Structure 1
Amino acid sequence: MADKHRKKKMIIALAIKKLLNAYNTNALFFLMTHNDPVIRTHDSFRSLADRFGVSTSTAHTCCGNIARKISLHLVKRFIKWPRNEALDSVTQGFLEKCKLPGVVGAIDACHVRITAPQINPESYYNRKKFHLVNLQAVSDNRLLFLDIFVGWPGSSHDARVFKNSPLFLETAENAIPCNKYILGDAAYPLLPWLMTPFKDYGTLSREKQNYNKQHSRGRQVVERAFGQLKGRFRRLILFYVHKIELLVYCIVAVYVLHNVCILNDDEINDFCEEPDINVYDGLNEDRESGILFRDDLVRYLSQ
C-alpha cells in the first residue's frame, strides 16, 4: 500500500513538473510544497533553503517567481467552467448526489490566516481576532475548482466579497447556461443562477425541508474541496506575508496545483480540514426570479 501511494505521488510530481519546467527551472521549489512531507506542513523558508543549499532570499525569490508564472500562464488552463460533454457530466454527477437537476457547481468562501500585511493591516483583522484573507471559490462534483476569487480582506462579509467578484459582475452570465445554476448557503443572495436554502424557522413544509436536505448534500462538495486544498498545502493554515500581491499569486497557484492533483486521481481524504462556519447577517436580497426558480425545484423534488 505504501509503495502504491509513493508511486501515485511520483506521478503527480512528474505531471506538475512537466507543466512548470517550461516556465522556470526552479519549479522544484514550489513542487516541494505538495510532495515533501515536511515542507507541505507549516515549515519555514529557512528549512526549504537548507534543503537546496541556497539562501533564504533565493528560496523566497524562486517560490514567488513560479507562483507568478502559474497564476499568469496556467490558471485559465486548469480553472475553468465545464462545456459541452463536460458540463453534462457535472450536472449528472450532482443529480446523482443530490437529486437536483441542472447543478453545475457549489460556491463557498473560507479564510487563510496571515500575519499583518504592510498596507492597511486593520482591514484584514477579523472578528476571530487575527488577520485573514478571504478565498471564494466554486467547485464541481469532483472537487475541481471552476472559479476562484482571492485576496479580499478577511473582515469583509462573504456577501460583500461575492458582489464584488468577477463571478457576480460578469462571469456568471457567460459561464452558467440558462436553466443551470450553482448552490450556495444562506450567506449568498438567491438568484436565477444561484440557489440558496430556505431559512428554517421551524415552519417549513415537508417539501421545502426535503429541498434543503438535497441542497445541503450538493453544496458539501465545495466544503470538501476547501478541506482538500488546505490538506494538501498546509502553508494555508498560516501564511507569513508582507505583500498581499505575492500572497494572491501563491494561493492562486495552489488552486491550480490542487486541480492538477484531482485530474491525476490524487486523493487525500485523511488530511481534510474542517470547513469554516459562516455567519449570516441578512445582507442579501433575494431576487423574484430566483424565488420562482427555487419553487420550481421544490415542485420537481415533490414529484
Structure 2
Amino acid sequence: MEESEPEYIYGWWENLDEEEFQITFRMSKKTCISLQAELDDVEGIDNESSDTFLLCCLWILGNTLPFKDAGPMFDIEDNIEVILAQYLKKISALGETYLAWPTDEEAAEIEEGFLKKYHFPGVVGVIGSLHINVLPDGKQSLYYNTEMDKHTIILQVVCDNHLLLRDVCAGCPGGKDIQTILRSSPLFKKLTDDDSYLIKNNKHLLGGTEHPQMRTLLTPYKGKDLNEKQSKFNVLHNSVMYTVEKTFCYIQSRFPRLTCMDNLHPHLATLLVSAACVLHNFTRVRGESNEFYTDTE
C-alpha cells in the first residue's frame, strides 16, 4: 500500500516561531522580509509578505530532501526545477551589491583585521576553491575530475577577515585545474592589472599550493627541506588560510543543499551555489550568526 503525501495547510510557515523559521528557511523572519523587499524593489513590486516561491527556494537550499517534496508543501503544481531556476537567478542578481570587491577603504580595514588577528601584513583576502558534486554524465565530460573520480563544479571565492565573500566564480567544470580557473576568471585581472589596488598598494591575497605564486598572491613554500623561516611562514600562512575553509563550512552548514547535488545538472547546481553565496553575505551583513547550524560561531 502506497503512503499518501502529508497534507499541508497553505501558509503554515506563518505559524512558525522565530527559531523554527530560522531552522526551516536558514534566516530570521526579519531578514527574509528584507530579502523579499530587495527582490521586489528590483522588479518594482510592492509586496508586504514573503513570496511563496522565495520560501520554496530557501527551503530547498536549507535541507537535502527531494525537490518533489516542495510541491505539496508550498502548493506549487508547476515544475519545481523550472520555478527554482527562475527565482535563483533573481537572488543571484543581488550579487552585484552583496558580492562586491572591497573599496580601497574597505581593503585597508580588511588588512588591519588580518594583521590584528594573525600578525600577517598586507593581506586583503584569502582565495579558496571548493568541489561540489553534480550529476554524472560520462567520463569524457569537462565536469569529470579524474583525481577525485567524481563529476563536480568548482566554486572559487575570495573571503575577507569577516568571512564575507568578496569575489565569487561559480560553476567552473571540475575537470579543469585550479590555476586554469583562476587565470580565466575576472579575479585574475585584479591580480595582474597595474592599476589594481593590490599592485598599486603592494597588497596581496593568500592562496593554496595549487595556486601560482605571484606578487599579489602568496602561496606556501613547497618541499620537505624547508628552513626555519620558511616553516614558520607556512604555519602562519596556513592559519590565515583557515579563514576560507571556515567560510565554506558556514555556507554549507547554512545551506546543506550544497552538500547534496549529485543528482543535479551542473547548470541548476551552479544557480544554487551562486544564490547560496549571495545569501551567505546577505545574512552575514545583517548580523545573523550560524548558531542554529554549526557548533561554533
TM range (shorter): 0.7 to 0.9
Q: Retained in 2: the 8 A contact 1:106–1:138?
A: yes
The equivalences for 1:152-301 within 5 A come to 152-168=172-188, 170-172=189-191, 173=193, 174=196, 176=198, 177-201=200-224, 203-239=225-261, 240-242=263-265, 244-268=266-290, 271=293
Q: Retained in 1: the 8 A contact 2:133–2:150?
A: yes
Give distance in 2, aligned partners of 1:104 and 1:56.
45
Give distance in 2, aligned partners of 1:9 and 1:200.
47
Q: Which amino acid aligns with 1:227?
A: C
Which of the numbers 82, 101, 126 marks the counterpart of 1:81?
101
Using the TM superposition, name which of 180-189 and 264-273 deviates more: 264-273
Deviations 1:187-224 (A, max 9, x none): 101101000111141x3222222211211121111111
Q: Retained in 1: the 8 A contact 2:61–2:276?
A: no
Matched, 1:10 2:34: no
Q: Which amino acid aligns with 1:83?
A: T
Q: Retained in 1: the 8 A contact 2:153–2:270?
A: no
Deviations 1:108-160 (A, max 9, x none): 1011111135x986221223232111111110011111111112211222122
Which of the numbers 62, 66, 74 marks the counterpart of 1:52?
74
TM-score normalised by length of structure 1: 0.78
Aligned residue for 2:53?
29
Aligned residue for 2:88?
67
Q: Retained in 2: the 8 A contact 1:16–1:31?
A: no
Which of the numbers 122, 132, 143 marks the counterpart of 2:163?
143
Determine what percentage of the aligned residue pairs are the same residue.
Answer: 26
Matched positions, count: 264
Higher helix share: 1
With over 3 angstroms needed to count, the CA separation of the structure-2 counterparts of 1:15 and 1:175, relative to structure 1, is farther
**Structure 1 regions of 5+ residues with no counterpart?**
274-303
Q: Retained in 2: the 8 A contact 1:228–1:268?
A: yes
Structure scoring higher RCO (CA < 8 A, sep ≥ 6) equals 1
Aligned residue for 2:149?
129
Q: Retained in 2: the 8 A contact 1:112–1:135?
A: yes
- Per the TM alignment, residue 61 of structure 1 is displaced from its structure 2 partner at its CA by 2.7
Q: Retained in 1: the 8 A contact 2:114–2:120?
A: yes
3-state SS of paired residue (2:128): strand
Please provide the CA RMSD for this pair.
Answer: 2.7
3-state SS of paired residue (2:136): coil
- Per the TM alignment, residue 51 of structure 1 is displaced from its structure 2 partner at its CA by 0.9
- Per the TM alignment, residue 33 of structure 1 is displaced from its structure 2 partner at its CA by 4.6
Q: Which amino acid aligns with 1:17?
A: Q
Q: Retained in 1: the 8 A contact 2:154–2:170?
A: yes
- Per the TM alignment, residue 232 of structure 1 is displaced from its structure 2 partner at its CA by 1.3
Give distance in 1, aligned partners of 2:245 and 2:181.
18
Q: Which amino acid aligns with 2:148?
A: K
TM-score normalised by length of structure 2: 0.79
**Structure 2 regions of 5+ residues with no counterpart?**
1-16
Give distance in 1, aligned partners of 2:20 and 2:108.
32
Q: Retained in 1: the 8 A contact 2:61–2:272?
A: no
Give distance in 2, aligned partners of 1:245 and 1:189.
28
Q: Retained in 2: the 8 A contact 1:224–1:272?
A: no
3-state SS of paired residue (1:123): coil
Give distance in 1, aligned partners of 2:197 and 2:67.
39
Q: Retained in 2: the 8 A contact 1:97–1:217?
A: no
- Per the TM alignment, residue 76 of structure 1 is displaced from its structure 2 partner at its CA by 1.4
Give distance in 1, aligned partners of 2:140 and 2:258.
18
Q: Retained in 2: the 8 A contact 1:230–1:236?
A: yes
